[in-house]
Amino acid sequence: MKNMRRFVVVGVLSALVMAGFGARPGMAEPRAHVYLLRGLLNIFSLGMDNLAEKIQRHGIHATVHNHTEWQTLADNAAAAYHAGKEGPIIIVGHSLGADAVMQMSTYLGQKGVPVALAVPFDARGSYATSRNVRRLLNLTHAGYGYMSRGAGFQGSLSNVDVSRDGSIDHLNIDKSARLHAQVLAAILEVVGNGSGNQPTANGHNAQRAIATPGSGQNGTMKPTESTQTPPKSGSGVTNSTESVLRH
Residue 128, classed as helix, strand or coil, is strand
Closest CA to 65 of 101, 30, 109: 101
- Which carries the bigger pLDDT value, residue 124 or residue 4? 124
To the nearest 10 degrees (0 to 180), the angle between helices 47-56 and 177-191 is 40
pLDDT tens digit sequence for 103-127: 999 999 999 999 999 999 999 999 9
Number of domains comprising the chain: 1
**In-domain check, residue 16:** no
Q: What is the pLDDT of residue 209?
A: 33
Whole-angstrom distance, CA of residue 229 vs CA of residue 214: 22
pLDDT per residue over 63-75, tens digit each?
A: 999 999 999 999 9
Range of the structural domain that residue 186 is part of: 51-198+210-228
Phi–psi pair at 112, nearest 5 degrees: 75, 30
Of the chain, the end-to-end C-alpha distance in Å amounts to 80
- Diameter over CA atoms, the chain: 89
142 is a domain residue: yes
Average pLDDT, the chain: 80
pLDDT tens for each residue of 129-178? 999 999 999 999 988 999 999 999 999 999 999 999 999 999 999 999 99
The distance of Cα 85 from the centroid of its chain, to the nearest Å, equals 15
Q: Is residue 191 part of a domain?
A: yes
Residue 61 in any domain: the answer is yes
Q: What is the pTM of this model?
A: 0.75
Q: What is the pLDDT of residues 166-221, one digit of tens each?
A: 999 999 999 999 999 999 999 999 998 654 444 433 333 433 333 333 333 333 33
Q: Which residues pair with 119 in a beta bridge?
A: 92
pLDDT of residue 34: 98
Q: Is residue 8 part of a domain?
A: no
